Structure 1
Amino acid sequence: MGTQVVVLNGGSSSGKSSMARELVRLLPGTWLRLGVDTLIDALAPSPEEEADVGLVIGADGEVVVGPAFTRVERAWMRGVAAIAADVPVVVEDNFLSGPAAQQRWREALAGLDVLWVGVRCEAAVAEARERARGDRAVGMARAQAEVVHEGIGYDLEVDTGVLPPADAAAVVAASVVAAAVGE
């Protein structure tokens, strides 16, 4: 069957989205690209609902995730898994809750062939990207650069501070293709 899901985990501004756009272009067949930002955008809470939704992004870039967000996230993960059973998916995420986040994905994706990819980038590089983008709270990239990788198990890691997005995507695509050929 081959890889059905590629999970990209990295901090804010690490290059996940740029890499994922290239990756779905390089992978054989039709792949969908879905990211946690899609989920966050779909929530669109009003300020008074933020506490209920359980996701608060502070002015300093700190992200606080509560139980209500985790409940919604679990449902979203199950939905992604249902899609991946028919159409392969590249998922962009940042495991702010560390191994617990990866475990939630493992539970949702049980029975599917998953490639776990760590998307690394030095904090200074991610921070420069964050400032250039202008659409993130300054400090988020530096705060997440390493913490999202702590305790996480990967099949493959790429450094988007060293490799351009297309090259990093090519490394991942080669791994997916090699796994399919090896079956």
Structure 2
Amino acid sequence: MGVVSRGRVILLNGVSSSGKSTVGRALQQVLPDPWFLFPVDALGSMRSIEQTAAQSESEIEATLRRTCMGYHRAVAGLVSVGNHVIMDYPLSEPWRLRDLLDVLDGYDVTLVEVHCDAAELDRRERARGDRPLGLAASQVVCAHEDRDISVDTTDTPPDACAHAIAESLPGLGVSKAFDRLRASSREPAPIGYTPDR
């Protein structure tokens, strides 16, 4: 077998209920090549529920962190052999972004911010009934303040957001948000700076 070219990644980053999953499914319909939609929840759903529920709070936190770290590496594994992957994943903790910058170094990653109005997020949470109320409001996913593409699902349907993303892809430069974020993370830290854990 010859050299396998690497696939591409589209990372849909947004708070819970912002519309990442529906935009991801719509993207699969408009992108020309085959793409895997791989939400972190799909990996989490494979974990045994009863044993996790019996864990202490610190054990649950460690389990969730390992799950996310495994997710990052599973995405890299798929892409390394030429698959294209749409990640449905909130960058809700700084370490998630830092780990992804390392794991996906050398890969073509397009970072898409998926936004939604707070009132609409609250309405969606209540309608879903499978998320703690206030989860979306508590998440911080855009603290890194860089992205390649941004869509707002408040009043824009998923298919329109997907078309906007697909149409923006060819016009993106060689240097993307992940490249810029990786470069800035390698700059010397200011005197007195203490990194978060």
**What band does the TM-score fall into relative to the shorter chain?**
0.7 to 0.9
Give runs of aligned pairs for residues 70-81 of structure 1, distance below 5 A: 70-81=65-76
Provide the rounded CA distance (Å) in 2 between the counterparts of 1:38 and 1:152. Answer: 27
Find out whether 1:119 has 2:108 as its counterpart: no
Change beyond 3 A, Cα 1:115–1:2: farther
**Structure 1 residue 105: deviation in Å?**
1.5
The CA RMSD over aligned residues, in Å, is 2.1
The TM-score with structure 2 as length reference comes to: 0.76
4+ residue runs over 3 A deviation = 50-53, 177-180
Larger radius of gyration: 2
Correspondent of 2:29 among 25, 42, 56: 25
Q: Is the 8 A contact 1:8 1:16 kept in 2?
A: yes
Aligned pair count reads 166
Q: Is the 8 A contact 1:10 1:118 kept in 2?
A: yes
Change beyond 3 A, Cα 1:2–1:83: closer
Correspondent of 2:144 among 139, 151, 154: 151
Show CA shifts across 1:111-139 (max 9, x none). 11010011011111111011111221211
The TM-score with structure 1 as length reference comes to: 0.81
In the other structure, the counterpart of 2:54 is 48
Show CA shifts across 1:73-109 (max 9, x none). 2122111111012210000011221x32222222121
Task: Classify the secondary structure of the residue corresponding to 2:165.
Answer: helix
Correspondent of 1:176 among 169, 173, 184: 169
Task: Classify the secondary structure of the residue corresponding to 2:150.
Answer: strand
Change beyond 3 A, Cα 1:26–1:90: same
Task: Classify the secondary structure of the residue corresponding to 1:71.
Answer: helix
Find out whether 1:167 has 2:171 as its counterpart: no
Task: Classify the secondary structure of the residue corresponding to 2:45.
Answer: helix
Unaligned runs of 5+ residues in structure 2 are: 174-197
In the other structure, the counterpart of 1:36 is 40
In the other structure, the counterpart of 1:84 is 79
**Structure 1 residue 169: deviation in Å?**
0.8
